[in-house]
Amino acid sequence: MLALAARRMGYRFAVLSPEPGSPAGQVSDREVVAPYDDLDAVRRLAAEADVVTVEFENVPAAALAAAAELAPVHPAPEVLAIAQHRLREKSWLAAHGFPTPAFRRVAAAADLDPALAEVGLPGLLKTAGFGYDGKGQRPVADAGEAAAAWQELGGGEAIYERRVAFRAELSVVAVRSAEGDFAAYGPIANRHEGGILDLSVLPAGLPAPLAREAVDLARAIAEALGFVGVLCVELFWDEDGSLLVNELAPRPHNSGHLTIEAALTSQFEQQLRAVCALPLGDPAPRAPAAMANLLGDLWWTGARPEGLPREPDWAAALRRSDVHLHLYGKAEPRRGRKMGHLTALAADPAAARALALAARQCVTGGSR
């Protein structure tokens, strides 16, 4: 989606991808196929680039440093280093006075008991590095589960945090330029299934002061990081009414995909504008919108739940007006894999939500 926005704006686009024929590679001028830690390949890419950015934060620091020798990298490698490591991220947020769920570092089995005592139960144990979409995390209800969870996660550095009994999960998709200009979408209301984003709705329908507080929080975080580009701040709206930061995504985010149809400027165009030192675009809404993710599971849902995967009936969704289909061109459907999404626009957020869900249901032969 970033490459498509870039091509539309007249940019040439080159992508480094570990697998040939990646979604971005299919629509780019050039695809360098190499692992993220192949520094020669990273240098080949950066040598012909005016600017380098990422759409995935877990690019190794050495690769970002190699790119930065040859071209500006936005967001900055030091900022990506914070966002790609849960413990560094939460520690940075806490040190700068931003609210997070209570957490504690777990580096050895002996740290588990003090962590549980300090943070409380129930909680979640998460690997410190390389986690997204609920990967690398386990629920913890008691001390026995904590020990088992730590083993299951490989016994490496981890973070134990309080399970938040949230009223809602929210995100603010923010963008900041090198000059400090700022724009934001949201808050967006997000629903997750099994740790994976399932549904996003914009606007979230929150009381205006809370919505302002969420955007102000995102702005303050972007400022404190000196961020350049799109930054998604994922939030919990806690049962006591407060906002807590769950995670920072230093890139265009799945919850912002609906901005392609729902806003005057999409999050992808904003990313390009920010990293290419252009003026930021207007994030104002066109219409209330909802986005339903299309996971690989859909290929097995419906009449034949077992056996060979079956292509969902996309035409069934497209029969409805103001439903927009995005398929990413991933070769193989897999359970839990994000294959695409549907965005629905409607007169109000509840109607957009119902339309997106109905459109998704009908692609597997559900009611039309």
Residues in the site for ligand AMP, rule: CB under 6 A? 101, 124, 131-132, 134, 137, 161-164, 169, 192, 195, 246-247
Q: Shortest distance, CB of residue 163 to ligand AMP, whole angstroms?
A: 4
Supply the DSSP string of 9-22, one letter for each residue. Answer: TT---EEEESSTT-
Q: Shortest distance, CB of residue 118 to ligand AMP, whole angstroms?
A: 15
Residues β-bridged to residue 106: 158
Whole-angstrom distance, CA of residue 353 vs CA of residue 201: 7
Q: Shortest distance, CB of residue 139 to ligand AMP, whole angstroms?
A: 9
Whole-angstrom distance, CA of residue 256 vs CA of residue 100: 22
Q: Toward ligand AMP, which CB reaches closer, 9 or 168? A: 168
Q: Toward ligand AMP, which CB reaches closer, 57 or 247? A: 247
Q: Toward ligand AMP, which CB reaches closer, 245 or 355? A: 245
Q: Shortest distance, CB of residue 238 to ligand AMP, whole angstroms?
A: 9
Whole-angstrom distance, CA of residue 47 vs CA of residue 31: 14
Q: Please report, for residues 22, 56, 63, 301, the alpha-carbon distance to residue 37 in angstroms, rounded to integers and kept in the order given.
A: 17, 14, 6, 37
Q: Shortest distance, CB of residue 193 to ligand AMP, whole angstroms?
A: 9
Q: Toward ligand AMP, which CB reaches closer, 55 or 133? A: 133
Q: Shortest distance, CB of residue 195 to ligand AMP, whole angstroms?
A: 4
Is the CA virtual torsion 84, 85, 90, 91 positive or negative? negative
Q: Toward ligand AMP, which CB reaches closer, 101 or 229? A: 101
Half-sphere exposure of 165 (CA within 13 A, CB side): 4
Q: Shortest distance, CB of residue 246 to ligand AMP, whole angstroms?
A: 5
Burial 272-307, CB ≥16 within 10 A → b, else e: bbbbbeeebbebebebbbbbbbbbbbbbbbeeeeee
Question: Residue 83 in 3-state DSSP?
Answer: helix
Supply the DSSP string of 325-352, one letter for each residue. Answer: EEE---SS--TT-EEEEEEEE-SSHHHH
Tokens 């020669």 label which residue? 40
Q: Shortest distance, CB of residue 134 to ligand AMP, whole angstroms?
A: 4
Q: Toward ligand AMP, which CB reaches closer, 45 or 245? A: 245
**CB neighbourhood size of 332 (10 A):** 9
Q: Toward ligand AMP, which CB reaches closer, 116 or 272? A: 116
Q: Toward ligand AMP, which CB reaches closer, 191 or 212? A: 191
Instruction: Give Cβ neighbours of residue 350 (< 8 Å, ≥ 6 apart).
Output: none
